């Protein structure tokens, strides 16, 4: 198992190196920060001083070499906009996004497992058709549309919830709800399909013949053997949720990593862009390794292989 983890970490490190190169050079395609942070009529010597102070006067490859040298020390430089260490800004915003994504993913997984398992007990029945209809609708709704409609209905129309910002529990309800709907719909369909296959297997028929209770058969025997495809889709959705909550955070004014990244791109704040992408990628790589280890725990054949 340790050899497998080492191999996966090596693959992740190679991918991370490629990502570091891409994010450095692609960020600089957005333009010269000097044009944003200095007036149009700023003297040439002022522009030259600004460029020298921030290392923009060096050739691009020399800037990249300096960036790599600082990155080894976990130094991403300072934010041009906020004049603070970029990594501090990212690490301050990232936990908020993790809590938001983790809460939404947990709710989506629990609801999907329960709904999909109950629907699979009687395929093509009334409950199965209802769950399928709701799951398909949820999986088809884009986050940005659902976010705007939820603000219009629950915040502007009914005035039940705040439109944006953070504070008490009420500020979290709409962002969590919006992020939960799509993965919940996708997972419910996956759970239903996997459970129908598991419930038709020979060991389930044997358990029924022995008089084992239905709920034990569904949620203990069948669910354990149906978990591999569920974990695969759940892991993919969790990674996408961490990386794709940008729109939701912008609409709700949520101070997470997505909002920070969008603002940094607008202001060409290279240090924060680089820190945000690398920290987020590291979290996603780590999540993928954890998911692979979960496969091995659920299926001994994968561990032995």
- The SS3 call for residue 59 is coil
The pLDDT value recorded for residue 111 is 92
Q: How confident is the model at residue 107 (pLDDT cuts 50, 70, 90)?
A: very high
**Does 133 map to a domain?**
yes
Percentage above 90 pLDDT, the chain: 1
Using CA atoms, how far apart are residues 85 and 262, in angstroms rounded to an integer? 18
CA-nearest of 210, 244, 246, 229 to 291 is 229
Q: Averaged over 80-91, what is the pLDDT?
A: 88
pLDDT tens per residue across span 211-242: 777 777 776 777 777 777 888 888 878 877 77
* CATH number where 160 lies: 1.10.3720.10
Q: Is 156 a residue whose pLDDT tops 50?
A: yes
- The pLDDT tens digits of the residues spanning 5-16 come to 677 778 778 888
pLDDT of 209 strictly over 80: no
Whether 48 maps to a domain, the answer reads no
- Tell me, yes or no, whether 284 lies in a domain: yes
Does 239 map to a domain? yes
Residue 75, domain member (yes or no): no
Euclidean distance between CA atoms 72 and 219, whole angstroms: 47
| Distance from C-alpha of 188 to C-alpha of 231, rounded to nearest angstrom | 12
Rounded-to-integer distance, Cα 301 and Cα 290, Å? 17
* Containing structural domain, residue 137: 86-304
Bridge partners (DSSP) of residue 78 are 85
Residue 297, in any domain of the structure: yes
What number is the average pLDDT over the span 185-197?
Answer: 86
Does a structural domain hold residue 280?
yes
- The answer to whether 97 touches 260, Cβ cutoff 8 Å, is no
- Total Cβ atoms within 10 A of residue 53: 9
For the chain, how big is the Rg over CA atoms in Å?
24
- pLDDT score recorded for residue 2: 65
85: CB partners within 8 A, 6+ apart: 75, 76, 77, 78, 79
Kindly state the average pLDDT of the residues 28-46: 80
Domain count, the chain: 1
pLDDT at 300: 60
pLDDT > 70 fraction of the chain, expressed in percent and rounded: 93
Residue range 161-173: mean pLDDT, rounded: 78
Confidence category of residue 304, pLDDT binned at 50, 70, 90: very low
Q: Residue 1: which pLDDT band, with cuts at 50, 70 and 90?
A: low
Report whether pLDDT(305) > 60. no
The torsion angles phi and psi of 85, rounded to 5 degrees, stand at: -55, 130
Query: Taking residues 107-129, what's their average pLDDT?
Result: 86
Condensed to tens digits (0 to 9), the pLDDT of residues 238-269 reads 877 776 677 788 888 778 888 888 888 888 88
Domain annotation covers residue 296 = yes
């Amino acid at each position: 198992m340790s050899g497998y983890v080492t191999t996966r970490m090596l693959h992740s490190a190679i991918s991370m190196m490629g990502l570091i190169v891409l994010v450095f050079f692609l960020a600089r395609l957005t333009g010269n920060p000097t044009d944003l942070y200095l007036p149009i009529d700023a003297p040439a010597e002022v522009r030259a001083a600004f460029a020298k102070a921030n290392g923009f006067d060096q050739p691009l490859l020399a800037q990249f070499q300096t960036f790599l040298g600082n990155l080894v020390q976990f130094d991403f430089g300072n934010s041009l906009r906020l004049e603070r260490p970029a990594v501090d800004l990212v690490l301050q915003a990232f936990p908020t996004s993790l809590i938001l994504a983790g809460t939404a993913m947990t709710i989506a997984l629990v609801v999907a497992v329960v709904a999909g398992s109950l629907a699979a007990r009687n395929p093509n029945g009334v409950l199965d058709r209802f769950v399928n209809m709701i799951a398909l609708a949820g999986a088809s709704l884009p986050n940005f549309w659902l976010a705007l409609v939820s603000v219009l209905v629950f915040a502007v129309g009914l005035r039940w919830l705040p439109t944006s910002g953070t504070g008490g529990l009420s500020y979290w309800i709409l962002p969590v709800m919006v992020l939960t709907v799509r993965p919940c719909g996708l997972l419910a369909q996956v759970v239903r399909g996997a459970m129908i296959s598991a419930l038709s297997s020979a060991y389930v028929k044997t358990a029924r013949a022995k008089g084992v209770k239905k709920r034990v058969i569904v949620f203990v025997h069948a669910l354990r053997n149906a978990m591999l495809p569920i974990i695969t889709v759940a892991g993919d959705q969790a990674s996408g949720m961490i990386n794709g909550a940008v729109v939701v955070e912008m609409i709700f004014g949520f101070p997470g990593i997505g909002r920070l990244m969008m603002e940094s791109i607008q202001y060409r704040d290279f240090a924060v862009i680089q820190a945000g992408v690398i920290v987020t990628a590291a979290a996603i790589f780590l999540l993928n390794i954890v998911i692979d280890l979960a496969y091995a725990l659920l299926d001994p054949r994968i561990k032995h292989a």
